[in-house]
């Protein structure tokens, strides 16, 4: 019987049960056996950071595709299907990898690995690099999985540019407790003699990243707030760097935090592609970028279960900084359209639940905690609800998303509520599957 990509992913787990084991030695061994596909890639823009990586890549992809470029993209995690992680470039618009190509790449990587210990992320990253090396494109947008220095993607010797988006505390069990430690790990993607771009950061993160860039010997450094700037205007966004000013429309992706992601995407492409990307392509890309589960409005099956006329949103934020920017977006929504707020929250046990939830306290939400059924290390919904109560929320527990919607429907609201489902990208994947809104 022919194996599916899902079968392969399950079989990979047996090779190295630890889901995360940061090292490059296994990756180098496998790539050597595959005849070094990492040396046959199109030019690579390598992107690390705690938050904003995916959105920044989404803006870059949309801008480059608007200019006629063929763009490979590697991101993680996926929401519903693994295929979302690998987008093969085509002129004008790319396509998610097909099942046939993915299974073939998995088979070749499995044979080359020869049953030796290796993580799932390492094997799947090798498969992605193999596919990217065999399909022509103008550029590869490569997202770091975790950290940077020892991440499986950090096998690129001479990237077109290395980009660091917002750095904050997350994955502290692997990267360290202090923001400075985490920033130093992210800076591991900087390469001597190659350009580096640092997005808007806290003072501590920025200082560490600048120090590492100097220590490595990058060829040039574009630093947010010093070398490029952006601010909101009555009509959209005003951007400026050493190449001049650029007027941009409001981004398609919602939330004021997306403004810094727009700036990071724009400065990166201006620094690397120059005149090859027109001002019009920048404008089209800013308005055309799509990135699922980032303040995404739901209008499918889940919306049908929600209270009548509810304003229903999905966001995969799951750490302190994510909670901060998502709650800020909700406050802006409330100013424009005041509604009572309900949060439906599921989280992993590895995430700092209190720091995430505390950002929403001033919004006086009702919180319903739900399980994440596809994750063994999901936090017990009762623990989420208890923590929410300690923060002063009204809170309850539901068996699943459908049950949470029915609970909300049974409540008395002064007007149709605004509902945000949040706390985990894994939960977001479950919701999109239930909703019938699959990423493409």
208: phi then psi, degrees, rounded to nearest 5 = -65, -45
Q: Report whether 345 contacts 423 (CB < 8 A).
A: yes
DSSP string, 70-100: -EEEE-S--SS-GGGGEEE--SS--EEPPHH
d(CA 126, CA 129): 5
**What is the pLDDT, as a whole number, of residue 410?**
95
**What is the pLDDT, as a whole number, of residue 1?**
55
Given 3.40.605.10, 3.90.190.20, 3.30.70.270, 3.90.79.10, which CATH number is that of 296-435?
Answer: 3.90.190.20
**What is the pLDDT, as a whole number, of residue 14?**
78
Pairing mode, strands 86-88 and 95-96: antiparallel
Longest Cα separation, the chain: 64
Least Cα distance to 247 among 297, 283, 287 occurs for 283
Pairing mode, strands 311-314 and 418-422: parallel
Least Cα distance to 50 among 169, 181, 212, 163 occurs for 169
Pairing mode, strands 244-248 and 296-297: unpaired
d(CA 310, CA 22): 43
As a CATH number, domain 5-288 is: 3.40.1190.10
**Cα atoms found within 13 Å of the Cα of residue 160, Cβ hemisphere only:** 18
> What is residue 378's DSSP assignment?
B
**So where are the chain's domains?**
5-288, 296-435
Q: Which residues sit opposite 164 in a β-bridge?
A: 48, 198
Which region holds residue 164: left if phi is over 0, alpha if psi is between -120 and 50, else beta? beta
Inter-CA distances, 16 with 31, 91, 257, 355, Å: 17, 38, 37, 32
d(CA 333, CA 59): 23
Helix (H) or strand (E) holding 15: none
> What is residue 298's DSSP assignment?
P
What 3-state class would DSSP assign to 168? coil
Task: Tell me whether residue 289 is exposed, middle or buried, using C-beta atoms within 10 angstroms of its C-beta: 0 to 12, 13 to 18, 19 or more.
Answer: buried
**What is the pLDDT, as a whole number, of residue 375?**
79
The pTM of the full predicted model, rounded to 2 decimals, is 0.94
Least Cα distance to 302 among 400, 368, 382 occurs for 400
**What is the pLDDT, as a whole number, of residue 364?**
86
**What is the pLDDT, as a whole number, of residue 220?**
97
**What is the pLDDT, as a whole number, of residue 321?**
86
d(CA 246, CA 163): 21
For 143, other C-beta atoms within 10 Å of its C-beta total 22
User: Could you read off the pLDDT tens digit of each residue along the chain, which spans 440 residues?
Assistant: 578 998 888 888 777 766 778 889 999 999 999 999 999 999 999 999 999 999 999 999 999 999 999 999 999 999 999 999 999 999 878 999 999 999 999 999 999 999 998 999 999 999 999 999 999 999 999 999 999 999 999 999 999 999 999 998 877 887 888 999 999 999 999 999 999 999 999 999 999 999 999 999 999 999 999 999 999 999 999 999 999 999 999 999 998 899 999 999 999 999 999 999 999 999 999 999 999 999 999 999 999 999 999 999 999 998 888 899 999 999 999 999 999 999 999 999 988 899 999 999 889 889 999 999 887 889 999 999 999 999 999 999 999 999 999 999 999 999 999 999 999 999 999 999 999 988 88
């Amino acid at each position: 019987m022919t194996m599916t990509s899902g079968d392969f992913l399950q079989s990979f787990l047996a090779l190295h049960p630890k889901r995360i084991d940061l090292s490059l030695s296994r990756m180098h061994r496998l790539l050597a056996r595959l005849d070094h596909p990492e040396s046959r890639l199109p030019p690579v823009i390598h992107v690390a950071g705690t938050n904003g990586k995916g959105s920044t890549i989404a803006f870059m992809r949309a801008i480059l595709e608007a200019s006629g470029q063929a763009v490979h993209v590697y991101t993680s995690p996926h929401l519903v299907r693994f295929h979302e992680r690998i987008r093969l470039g085509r002129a004008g618009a790319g396509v998610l990898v097909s099942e046939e190509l993915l299974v073939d790449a998995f088979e070749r990587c499995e044979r080359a690995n020869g049953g030796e210990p290796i993580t799932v992320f390492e094997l799947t990253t090798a498969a992605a690099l193999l596919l990217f090396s065999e399909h022509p494109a103008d550029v590869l947008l490569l997202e770091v999985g975790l950290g940077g220095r020892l991440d499986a993607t950090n096998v690129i010797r001479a990237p077109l540019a290395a980009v660091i988006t917002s750095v904050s505390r997350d994955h502290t069990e692997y990267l360290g407790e202090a923001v400075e430690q985490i920033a130093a790990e992210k800076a591991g993607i900087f390469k001597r003699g190659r350009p580096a771009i640092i997005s808007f950061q806290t003072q501590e993160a920025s200082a560490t990243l600048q120090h590492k860039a100097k220590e490595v010997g990058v060829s040039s450094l574009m630093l947010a707030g010093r070398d490029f700037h952006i601010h909101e205007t009555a009509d959209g966004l005003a951007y400026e760097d050493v190449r001049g000013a650029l007027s941009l429309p409001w981004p398609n992706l919602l939330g004021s935090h997306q403004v810094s992601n727009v700036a990071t995407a724009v400065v990166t492409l201006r620094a690397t592609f120059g005149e090859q990307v027109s001002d019009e392509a920048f404008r089209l890309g800013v308005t055309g970028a799509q990135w699922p589960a980032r303040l995404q409005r739901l209008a499918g099956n889940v919306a049908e279960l929600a209270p009548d006329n509810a304003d229903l949103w999905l966001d995969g934020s799951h750490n302190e900084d994510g909670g901060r920017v998502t709650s800020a977006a909700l406050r802006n929504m409330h100013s424009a359209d005041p509604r009572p707020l309900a949060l439906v929250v599921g989280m992993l046990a590895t995430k700092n639940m209190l720091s995430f939830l505390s950002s929403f306290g001033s919004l006086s939400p009702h919180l319903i905690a739900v399980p994440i059924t596809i994750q063994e290390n999901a936090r017990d919904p009762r623990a989420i609800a208890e923590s929410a109560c300690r923060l002063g929320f009204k809170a309850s527990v539901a068996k699943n998303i459908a049950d949470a919607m029915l609970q909300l429907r049974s409540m008395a609201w002064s007007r149709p509520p605004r509902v945000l489902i949040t706390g985990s990208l894994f939960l977001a994947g479950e919701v999109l599957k239930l909703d019938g809104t699959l990423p493409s």
